[in-house]
């Protein structure tokens, strides 16, 4: 569709939807800190990375929602999603396969956002003006 208002609305809603999982997950990791540490340890991932993971999820998600440094953050979160798929959801049961595929889809969404940019309804667009 070649309607700028519709395109900008779709990009904004898309940014909110794709970022929601990160903001909610980051917040939940704070409340479930010890459980997340145990899960990371079980997967061979150092627990010392958990504060960084929480920051990436919370700040990255918020940056995507408001459209701040969108292309850079989108590439970083695409990589984060792929790493999470590889470290936490490889093999196992159907549930893990679904999580693996979900992470691939999220990475794909971020790559599309990287290519399209955040649209006019974003801090990036405001800063360009």
Per-position DSSP letters for 73-113, written without gaps between them: HHHHHHHHHHHHHHHHSSSSSHHHHHHHHHHHHHHHHHHHH
Calpha distance 122→66 (Å, rounded):
6
Mean predicted confidence (pLDDT) in 46-71: 98
pLDDT at 1 over 80: no
User: Residue 129: what pLDDT?
Assistant: 80
Residue 81 has which token pair? 């999603």
pLDDT at 50 over 80: yes
Calpha distance 77→13 (Å, rounded):
17
Kindly state the percentage of the chain with pLDDT values over 70: 99
Q: What is the mean pLDDT of the chain?
A: 96
User: Residue 92: what pLDDT?
Assistant: 81
Residue 106 has which token pair? 């999220």
pLDDT at 47 over 90: yes
User: Residue 4: what pLDDT?
Assistant: 94
- Entry pTM: 0.94
pLDDT at 43 over 90: yes
Calpha distance 112→124 (Å, rounded):
16
């Amino acid at each position: 569709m070649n309607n700028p208002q519709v395109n900008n609305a779709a990009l904004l809603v898309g940014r909110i939807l794709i970022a929601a999982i990160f903001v909610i997950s980051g917040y939940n990791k704070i409340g479930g800190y010890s459980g997340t540490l145990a899960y990371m340890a079980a997967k061979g991932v150092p627990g010392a990375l958990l504060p960084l993971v929480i920051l990436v999820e919370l700040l990255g998600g918020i940056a995507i929602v408001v459209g701040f440094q969108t292309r850079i953050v989108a590439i970083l979160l695409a990589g984060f999603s792929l790493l999470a798929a590889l470290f936490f959801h490889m093999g196992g049961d159907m549930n893990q396969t679904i999580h693996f595929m979900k992470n691939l889809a999220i990475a794909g969404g971020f790559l599309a956002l990287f290519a399209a940019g955040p649209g006019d309804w974003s801090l990036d667009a405001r800063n360009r003006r």
